[in-house]
Chain A
């Protein structure tokens, strides 16, 4: 049934349709409505789950770990500072092979306080052993929430569904909400092979000597390596049942493109409109959305981008002292490959600054006008404190955009 939902409620309804059994959460803007709605659903008896009102995000993740170890389907949601507070336990969840699903609303890290969108919070957790899905629309948020449980439970790895603060979390869009019985047919109940059980007692997570620890980590990596195939298969199963397909990446007009823009999250929607316009003007430009960041889709990216002359990556995030994180990871996927494109890295939209069609046009114009990426980061739309170099750079970008 089509409903008009905010992104946060798309998460809540996805979790309800997945029949989560334990929810443990702590409020933080702009996530709070996700768990408010879930507690309402529990209170009204529309969701049969235990809602644990913990005193911190750290305890939220800890109680999800306890619940998942006890064999229950566990869910939480957080954002920014809350996700950072969970950091230690993100490692614990994946190390314990617990298929917890969490929504993270991308929000910039303080100080200064910002409640607006930026991906640095979730990308800073990239090494914790969680699958990460970056969503573009509220429909994708709801569908990914349902899929994430199936993917996680097959891989015994936790999943993070990521959505932009406000641009998705608080924005209303029409969403096709599947019927519960349809989702039940897609997603069977969670039946773990091993869990805390009095009839079959085991110790979980005991001290492990160097002779064994190495192999535990190897096993996690092996499952990440088979994750792309699982994500694509679950995506196809979902598509066959619901008519909406999602993969690791999503390409738009890249077949003959001599410049491909690489984006994630809601910037993609704006970029798609720009690409459409420029295609209509006869420009050979295309768009590649990265939906799954962990596992990083090496094969899909190589298949899409090898042979393309130039790629421009837009990062709404930064690894200080390095550069945009999608940019750096994409370069690592292309390095040493035949036909690897020149990759230009643009940092834009930090702290929720709008990334407008004009911003994206500036990026495309700049990339077209330059033969080689001389800098690791190009900042777009800097207002102050820029060096003389960057002022020159910026006016150059503006000038070429104006042409």
Chain B
């Protein structure tokens, strides 16, 4: 097992096809090891300068910097917590009316703004198939306000509102299935540990018209009680333990699994994070069973829609 962890910490050196131009400035306000800042950097590399960001309340409201600064080189509109999808709808409408159809509107929201308070607006926009990309960078709790549980927080996780003795007992909400159920053209999961996969998905999404949703796994060192140099290792482990599989759903039906997991035991993922320190062997067994079951369901859906793995990777 140690060997797997070492591999996940080191990764395999190889050449990723990642665009050179950066649209993020140095000096942003993210914590060390923040998955969300890395994610934005990759997202803007993928989408380029013809992009506008709609940003509801989330960690990025701080990361983007206070007035009069900005951490990004594209227009950015800060808005209220629950309005990413509805403000993006209006901005898209304005750009279409002004003939600026080539500009990509990207809503960039956390899990609280997506799974919880912004879900109604997102569902409305997705049902209308509004033409924008929505990225939910998921750090599995309200991190900006100081680690309170959201409906994205996984079972068994400690947060300040699910303390010891009152840990979260319900599973993480399946936002991907909710979006897929709207039959929008493109839904994908992605991870900051797989930048080439994330960038490819954004570039693919950019070519599609309609609502495109990307669920980005984004570790949070202070919130997950993990070492800030383990962000990538933990994100890799999430994929290889099948905790967070990487896959795409086209038109709500065609499932493609993008990375074949190594199938590591879930403890490998849990043990690097203090937020899971209250789990015991019985919990591991139960959660492992659940993960295996959900993986089998995903494989079955992929087999129906599009039975192939795009590639095998470490």
Contacts and interface: CB of A to CB of B under 8 A. Distances in A.
B75 A201 contact: yes
Nearest to A24: B90
Nearest to A212: B67
A48 to B, nearest CB: 8
B171 to A, nearest CB: 26
A362 to B, nearest CB: 46
Nearest to B85: A59
Interface stretch (A29-37, A60-68, A251-259): A60-68
Interface stretch (B118-126, B247-255, B287-295): B118-126
B70 A21 contact: no
Contact of B80 (A22, A88, A196, A202): A88
Contact of B121 (A59, A70, A71): A59
Contacts of A202: 70, 75-76
A88 B86 CA distance: 14
Contacts of A58: 82-83, 86, 121
Nearest to A74: B90
A203 interface: yes
A22 B93 contact: yes
Contacts of B73: 201
A24 B49 contact: no
Nearest to B23: A201
Contacts of B82: 58
Interface stretch (B13-21, B94-102, B233-241, B277-285): B94-102
Contacts of B120: 55-56, 59
A52 interface: yes
A63 B87 contact: yes
Contacts of A197: 75
B244 to A, nearest CB: 29
B59 to A, nearest CB: 12
A208 interface: yes
Contacts of B61: 206-207
Contacts of B72: 201, 203
Contacts of A198: 49-52, 74-75, 100, 103
A96 B176 CA distance: 33
A285 interface: no
B169 interface: no
A89 to B, nearest CB: 6
Interface string B21-53: 000000000000000000000000000011110
B185 to A, nearest CB: 19
Interface residues of A, number: 43
A165 interface: no
A209 interface: yes
A209 B73 CA distance: 22
B90 A62 contact: yes
A55 B76 contact: no
A66 B75 CA distance: 12
A201 B72 CA distance: 9
Q: By CB atoms of chain B within 10 A, which of A48, A55, A200 has the most?
A: A55
B97 A72 contact: yes
B65 A50 contact: no
A324 to B, nearest CB: 32
Interface in B117-153: 120-121, 123-125, 127-128
Contact of A71 (B64, B69, B98): B98
Contacts of A212: 67
Q: By CB atoms of chain A within 10 A, which of B54, B68, B77 has the most?
A: B77
A111 B36 CA distance: 44
Interface string A12-44: 000000000110100000000000000000000
B83 A69 contact: no
A228 B79 CA distance: 30
Nearest to B56: A62
What is the size category of the interface that chain B forms with chain A?
A: 35 or more
A66 B91 contact: yes
Q: By CB atoms of chain A within 10 A, which of B65, B69, B82, B86 has the most?
A: B86
A49 interface: yes
A68 B98 CA distance: 12
B28 to A, nearest CB: 12
A108 B128 CA distance: 31
A62 B80 contact: yes
A59 B124 contact: yes
Contacts of B64: 203, 206
A59 B78 contact: no
Contacts of A336: none
Interface in A67-110: 67-72, 74, 88-89, 92
Contact of B78 (A48, A201, A204, A209): A204
Contacts of B92: 66
Contacts of A45: none
A92 B86 CA distance: 14
B109 interface: no
A70 B100 CA distance: 10
B120 to A, nearest CB: 6
Interface string B199-227: 00000000000000000000000000000
A54 B74 contact: no
Nearest to A51: B93
Contacts of A60: 86
Nearest to A65: B87
Nearest to A64: B90
Nearest to A89: B80
B66 interface: yes
B297 interface: no
B193 to A, nearest CB: 28
Given A52-B93, A201-B76, 14 more contacts: A21-B93, A22-B94, A24-B93, A48-B97, A59-B85, A59-B86, A68-B94, A70-B91, A70-B94, A71-B98, A88-B80, A196-B77, A205-B77, A206-B67
29 contacts: A21-B93, A21-B97, A54-B124, A56-B120, A59-B85, A59-B125, A60-B86, A66-B77, A66-B91, A70-B52, A70-B91, A70-B93, A70-B98, A88-B80, A89-B80, A196-B52, A196-B75, A196-B77, A198-B50, A201-B70, A201-B72, A203-B70, A203-B78, A204-B75, A204-B76, A206-B61, A206-B66, A206-B68, A209-B66
Pairs A-B, 6 closest by C-beta atoms:
A66-B90, A70-B94, A55-B124, A63-B90, A72-B94, A62-B86
Interface of B: 49-52, 54, 61-62, 64-70, 72-80, 82-83, 85-98, 100, 103, 120-121, 123-125, 127-128
